[in-house]
Amino acid sequence: MATSKDNKISLIVKNKSLDYGLLIVVLVLLAIGLVTVLSASAHYSLRTEGDSYFYVKKQLLFAVVGIISMLIISRIDYRILNSRISYVLLGIAFIMLCLVFVPGIGVTRNDATRWINIAGFQFQPSEIMKVAMIFFIATTISKNPKKIKQFWSGFVPYLVLIGAIAVLLLLEPHMSATIIIAVIAIAMIFVAGAKFSHLIPIGLVGVIGAIILAYTSEYRWKRVMIFLDPWQDARGDGYQIIQSLYAIGSGGLFGVGLGKSVQKYLYIPEPHNDFIFAIWSEEMGLLGVILVILLFGIFIWRGITIALKAPDMFGSLVATGVTVMIGIQAIFSIAVVSSSMPVTGIPLPFFSYGGTALVILLSCVGILLSVSRQSRK
């Protein structure tokens, strides 16, 4: 391959402009997200912590750390990861996923063991796994792009990888992360050139598998039934989604006004978490909803544009992976909140409360920005 001066790998990238469109969209989303956390968490925060600002202060602190991390990472040449480092990363991610099951490290909430606690930081290893997997797939595919078209030697190994991760995640259990990781991996493989003749049967198997998975677990099947008619159990399993719809419906076209949500008064049990978009919908109405969805649309458009303009396949795949990761989480989160898919806890990127997750998220944006610095003009 021809090498240009531009493509020479160095740790620090200097004097190359990044994609300001993406940066601005991310900062706007983050700003709106923080305001929404403030509004959504105020009452909950007062009732649980005795301080209306407890959650927003923490989130703001992590946002600052995340932005610094994003800007630093944007200056590091992403290509240093196109190496054994990505293998090591994947290994670490797997170890962390296993650590979840180690008593004393794993943290269980609401019957799901999804967190680990290391040195006072609590986070979900699945977040690390998403990123590690993106680099791993990008590294291995870009090494030999043609190989992906081979079924057994190119395609199947990735299915095995997805399967291995899925098994660990489903043991937690963490359905939403499983789906997101599978979608990211499939999206990257698809973009890299996997054959439709391979993808479609696998897609069908996946769909059938998902149906079987849902049907065989009473818990998951109930979620499907509740999705079809939440009012059949309005005080029980349908409660959350109904409360979310009450919030959304109350918003109407213009919303009840910033900070004036009523549903945040514990009707939505943790209004600053996975259902935060319902609060935004209530306060800002359909116009606010369209604004945020448009911003995510712009984000996806800029992300894919960066992938298109990336100087190499690794960059393209990393950009695709990160864009899909953030985009698909936004889509799923909004879809759940609006009862467009069965309820499963998916935080809305840049909005939902969660410090470590926000830092990881912004760091990933940093990688996207780093790729954008190397864009071909």
Partner 1 sequence: MSKTNIAIKKRMLFMLAVLLLVLFALICRMFYWQIVKASDLQKLAYSQQTKNRIISPKRGVIYDTNMVTLARSVNVETISVTPKNVKEKEKTAKGLSDILGLEYEAILEKVSKNTSEEVIAKKLDQEVTNKVREWILEEEIKGINIYEDTKRAYPKGSFLAQVLGFCGTDNQGLDGIEAKYESVLKGVPGQWILSTDATGKEIPITDDSYIPPEDGLNLVLTIDERVQHVVEKHLEQAMIDNAPVEYGVCVVMNPKNGDILAMATAPDYDPNDPFTVTDPKIAEKWDTLTTSEKTKARQEMWRNRAVTDTYEPGSVFKVVTSAIALEEKIVSNVDAVNFSCTGKLKVEGWDIKCWRSYNPHGTQSLRMGLMNSCNPVFMNVAMKVGPENFYKYLEAFGVSKNTGSDLIGETSGIIHDVKDVTGSTIATAAFGQGFTLTPLNMLNVMCAIANDGKLMQPRIVKKIIDNEGNTVKDIEKKVIKQVISEETSDKVLDMMESVVSDGTGRYAQVKGYYIAGKTSTAEQGRGANKKFVASFVGMAPADDPEVAVIFNLYNPQSERGHQGGGICAPVVGNILSEILENLEVPKDYEYQEDTKNTVVVPDVTNRTLAEAKKTLTNIGLKYSVDEADDNVRVVSQMPVAGETLTKKSLVKIFTEGNDTRFGTTVPDLRGMDITTASKKLAESNLNIKVSGTGVAILQSPPAKTTVEQGTIVKVEFRPAGIDVE
| Residue 3 binding partner 1, by CB under 8 A | yes
Q: What is the DSSP letter of 246?
A: H
Q: Which is nearer to partner 1, 20 or 265 (CB)?
A: 265
Strands (E) across 57-158 are located at 106-109, 112-118, 121-123
**Residue 147 CB contacts under 8 Å (≥ 6 apart), including other chains:** 141, 153, 154
Q: Which is nearer to partner 1, 69 or 339 (CB)?
A: 339
The interface region with partner 1, picked from 128-136, 202-210, 325-333, 360-368 by CB under 8 A, is 325-333
31, 102, 145, 215: which one binds partner 1 (CB under 8 A): 145
User: 239 vs 223, 228, 254, 337, CA distance in Å?
Assistant: 12, 14, 25, 12
Q: Minimum distance between the CB of residue 113 and partner 1, rounded to whole angstroms?
A: 28
Q: Which is nearer to partner 1, 123 or 332 (CB)?
A: 332
First to last CA, the chain: 19
| Residue 52 binding partner 1, by CB under 8 A | no
65, 224, 225, 335: which one binds partner 1 (CB under 8 A): 335
Rg (the chain; Cα; Å): 21
Q: Which is nearer to partner 1, 224 or 293 (CB)?
A: 293
Q: Which is nearer to partner 1, 4 or 216 (CB)?
A: 4
Cβ-based burial of 119 (10 A; exposed 0-12, middle 13-18, buried ≥19)? exposed
The interface region with partner 1, picked from 22-30, 60-68, 109-117, 330-338 by CB under 8 A, is 330-338
Q: Give which of 252, 251, 221 is closest to 237, Cα–Cα.
A: 221
CA max distance for the chain: 64
Q: Minimum distance between the CB of residue 327 and partner 1, rounded to whole angstroms?
A: 5
Interface positions, 238-297, toward partner 1 (CB under 8 A)? 245-253, 260, 262-263, 265-267, 269, 281, 285-286, 289-290, 293, 296-297
| 112-118 β-sheet, strand order | 106-109, 112-118, 121-123
The interface region with partner 1, picked from 27-35, 83-91, 218-226, 307-315 by CB under 8 A, is 307-315
Size of the site for partner 1 (CB under 8 A): 56
The interface region with partner 1, picked from 26-34, 67-75, 328-336, 350-358 by CB under 8 A, is 328-336
| φ, ψ (nearest 5 deg) of residue 342 | -60, 150
DSSP-H helix ranges across 194-272: 196-216, 218-228, 239-251
Q: Which is nearer to partner 1, 10 or 108 (CB)?
A: 10
| Residue 327 binding partner 1, by CB under 8 A | yes
| Residue 314 binding partner 1, by CB under 8 A | yes
Tokens at 258, concatenated: 């910033």
For the chain, what's the residue count? Answer: 377
Give the amino acid at 196. F
Interface positions, 155-194, toward partner 1 (CB under 8 A)? 187, 190-193
Is residue 335 within 8 Å of residue 167, measured between CB atoms?
no
Interatomic CA distance for residues 137 and 87, integer angstroms: 10
User: Which positions touch partner 1 (CB under 8 A)?
Assistant: 1, 3, 7, 43, 142, 145, 187, 190-193, 245-253, 260, 262-263, 265-267, 269, 281, 285-286, 289-290, 293, 296-297, 300-301, 304, 307-308, 310-314, 316, 320, 324, 327-328, 331, 334-335, 338-340
